[in-house]
Structure 1
Amino acid sequence: MSMLSRAVRPAVAASSRVQQQRSMATLREIEMRLKSVRNIEKITNSMKVIASTKLAKAQRAMQAAKTYGIANNEVFNNAEATEGGKKLFIVISSDKGLCGGIHSSVSKAARRAIAEEGSNESSLVVIGDKSKGQLMRAHGKNAVLTFNQIGKDIPTFADAAEVTDLIVQSGVKYDSVHLVYNKFVSAIAYEAAVMEVLSEETLKNSPNFKVYEVEDDATRDLAEFSLANAIFAVLVEGHATEMSSRRNAMDGASKNAADMITSLQMKYNRGRQAAITNELVDIITGASAL
């Protein structure tokens, strides 16, 4: 019996060593993954703090820029122009990601609006590389202009004026402009919205504008200035929405990383305890055999 036990012990010891090696390899993998997730948590926390700081500035700028949009609405509501004709859609997004679904939100709204009007009757201008990539596949033939590198920081009226000048110089024909953007509802919510701006010809033909003898240059300047005002208002509001969405996305990512760290730490501790127990079993077995 003793000879059988002596023959079995080497096999058991070899099997135990293999199991220990596998456990140590698994523990090293968990330890490396823990380190990676902790680094990710640090990055997402930093991005969340930066987005929170930028959000406060963006909200102040948005409140100041809303007066531009309100002034435009007063002009166009009092004009009582008839709807219809060729429309120009301007989609407002950004070049950066890691901010939730704000880009797909405006892209879906733009696709719905273009489909309702008919793709052959509409022109398209896209501000931001993210929505550009989503819209060019289906509506590339409608695209007149695309812009990027606008609104890296808080957008200014100069940015909006530059976009307006390039649209005017492009010679695209339209009766009204529909700005598709993300409306800032609260710090945790947004929704796709559309702001309408009338063209020079539509303003001239509106009933309330015909009453006054307005020179052509003045009407043209009013139409261009109104378009720049509207673009500025939605650029700033879209920027505030982006900062809010990025902060929320990074907050969610940090919480998920923290949950994963807790889970991996528990798994690591259990594996380490199991490895220690196996070593103790080997020691006690060896001592008993001696």
Structure 2
Amino acid sequence: MLARRTLARAPSALSGAGPGNPRNMATLREIELRLKSVKNIEKITKSMKMIASTKLAKAQRAMAAGKEYGIANSEVFANSTSAASAPNNKLFIVISSDKGLCGGIHSSVTKATRRAFAGSAESPLLNEECKPVEVDAASPIMVIGDKSKAQLLRSMSGNLRMTFNQIGRDVPTFADAAGVADLVIKSGVPYDSVVLVYNKFVSAISYEPAAMEVRGEAGLKESEGFKAYEMEDDFTKDLAEFSLANAIFAALTEAHACEISARRNAMDNASSNAKDMIGSLKMQYNRGRQAAITNELVDIITGASAL
């Protein structure tokens, strides 16, 4: 009776073993290839994390030096208050970079700019005095960096006047900032003040969008502090250009430090996710391999019993 039951099960078992093995082998092969791919990605993200970690200290030193330029600007404008009304024509310069794989650095300044132009009261764009920046919907925009340029082109292409790239590939220098300031002044775009939208460095793991406002030549001429002294005609023009270059340099160095810090954190998270995925794929591969071996043993035992 036992032999009859074994012989009755043998054809069905043997017929199911044939197509089952190729499917198991194909699945194991796919898992093995995916596991190899994820391991390669983990090596790349670990290397990028190490590179970003070594660059972060250098970027923070450059940021500390750049902030000194911003502090000097703030002292000049604090002592050049004007009784006239606040400037109406504002030029916005959005500062990001050309590189990716650094989290939400680019979308941070882009979203802040969009919210400011849309007049959002929930999360307004704040200046260095923590006051909301007044924005006209028709204000011109210039962008430093290809990433934010591509994002702003989709919704605010009518406001864009000029874009800059290949700036800040390494630690930004004052020459980079002076070149941008020179092109801004020569562009012919009229403005009473320039608002720099950049990422403010909070800590090694966080940043936030901020704005820095720099007055133009007309604003400095009308200030009470400068009217008290006799000055040459080109003095306020040169001071306005130098102040703009100072502010751009301070914003560039701080944005660069935020970018390096965000890239390090992004690569750290990517390495952790890859490690978790490798563990999951290894478990899935071992389970599939054990199932395939068990099926083969069942087939051999069934065949032997049938004989």
Q: TM range, normalised to the smaller chain?
A: over 0.9
User: Is residue 183 from structure 1 mapped to residue 172 from structure 2 by the alignment?
Assistant: no
The alpha carbon displacement at 1:149 in A equals: 0.7
CA separation in 2, counterparts of 1:245 and 1:289? 65
SS in 2 for 1:141: coil
The alpha carbon displacement at 1:56 in A equals: 1.3
SS in 2 for 1:287: helix
Q: How many pairs were matched up?
A: 289
For 2:89, the equivalent position in structure 1 comes to: 86
CA separation in 1, counterparts of 2:239 and 2:117? 26
For 2:137, the equivalent position in structure 1 comes to: 119
Specify the code of the residue in structure 1 equivalent to 2:106: H
CA separation in 2, counterparts of 1:215 and 1:109? 39
SS in 2 for 1:216: coil
Answer with 243-252 or 102-111: which moved more. 102-111
The alpha carbon displacement at 1:6 in A equals: 4.5
For 2:21, the equivalent position in structure 1 comes to: 20
Contact (CA 8 Å) 2:117, 2:136: kept in 1 or not? yes
What is the correspondence of 1:103-118 to structure 2 with a 5 Å cutoff? 103-116=106-119, 117-118=135-136
Aligned-residue identity in percent: 69
Contact (CA 8 Å) 2:94, 2:109: kept in 1 or not? yes
CA separation in 2, counterparts of 1:244 and 1:32? 32
CA separation in 2, counterparts of 1:7 and 1:73? 92
Could you tell me which of 150, 155, 159 is aligned with 2:167?
150
CA separation in 2, counterparts of 1:112 and 1:15? 62
Specify the code of the residue in structure 2 equivalent to 1:105: S
Answer with 250-259 or 275-284: which moved more. 275-284
User: Is residue 170 from structure 1 mapped to residue 171 from structure 2 by the alignment?
Assistant: no
> Which runs of no fewer than 5 residues in structure 2 stay unpaired?
120-134
TM-score (norm 1): 0.95
The alpha carbon displacement at 1:8 in A equals: 5.2
For 2:222, the equivalent position in structure 1 comes to: 205
For 1:40, the equivalent position in structure 2 comes to: 41
Specify the code of the residue in structure 2 equivalent to 1:270: R
CA separation in 2, counterparts of 1:287 and 1:114? 79
* Alignment RMSD: 1.6
The alpha carbon displacement at 1:84 in A equals: 2.9
Could you tell me which of 95, 99, 102 is aligned with 1:99?
102
CA separation in 2, counterparts of 1:249 and 1:106? 18
The alpha carbon displacement at 1:214 in A equals: 2.1
CA separation in 2, counterparts of 1:113 and 1:207? 30
Report Cα offsets for 1:129-149 as digits up to 9, x if no partner.
111111123222222210011
Answer with 124-133 or 80-89: which moved more. 80-89
The alpha carbon displacement at 1:235 in A equals: 0.5
> Which runs of no fewer than 5 residues in structure 1 stay unpaired?
none
The alpha carbon displacement at 1:119 in A equals: 2.0
The alpha carbon displacement at 1:178 in A equals: 0.4
For 1:9, the equivalent position in structure 2 comes to: 10
Q: Whose helix fraction is larger, Structure 1's or Structure 2's?
A: 1
